[in-house]
Amino acid sequence: MSSAPESRSMADLIGDAFAQFALLIRNEVDLARAELSRTVSKATNAIVFVVAGAVLMMPALVLLLFAIAEGLMNLGLSDALAYLVAGGGAAMTAIGLIWAGVDRLTSRGLKPDATLDQLRRDKTVARELMR
């Protein structure tokens, strides 16, 4: 059984506060670890899908680019110019897709928001307790 609050010494109270604070920090670290693990898992799954799609898309794009170049040649463009137009269009599209993918992998998208919010709340509570 716990002793009555009146009989507890200041040292006991401070010791309990530090024990609770240590437990809180441990819980926050566990939360951060879980959130980071979930974020890494989501990023890994996304990358697997992107790579699989890119591998399967390459032969299809090559055939489509040949078809576009052939159509341009039938319209009267020289072979070299038709291939340049088809390849240039594909290159610009690829640059746009790469840019969009890199933008989604920035640090703001992978930040552990829940953990940071909880740490801010804990800091506020700790300040209130110290008053």
pLDDT digits (tens, 9 = 90+) for 48-83: 998 999 899 889 989 999 999 999 999 999 999 999
When pLDDT is averaged across residues 90-108 and rounded to a whole number, the result is: 84
Work out the pLDDT band at 5, boundaries 50, 70, 90. low
- The number of C-alpha atoms within 13 Å of 96 and in the hemisphere containing its C-beta is 6
Work out the pLDDT band at 84, boundaries 50, 70, 90. very high
Work out the pLDDT band at 109, boundaries 50, 70, 90. low
Are 15 and 92 within 8 A, CB to CB? no
Does the global pTM surpass 0.95? no
pLDDT of 4 higher than 60: no
- In this prediction, residue 69 carries a pLDDT of 95
Least Cα distance to 85 among 69, 97, 73, 70 occurs for: 69
DSSP per residue over the chain, as a string? -PPPGGG--HHHHHHHHHHHHHHHHHHHHHHHHHHHHHHHHHHHHHHHHHHHHHHHHHHHHHHHHHHHHHHHHHTT--HHHHHHHHHHHHHHHHHHHHHHHHHHTSHHHH--HHHHHHHHHHHHHHHHHH-
- In this prediction, residue 24 carries a pLDDT of 84
- In this prediction, residue 14 carries a pLDDT of 83
Percentage of residues in the chain with pLDDT exceeding 90? 33
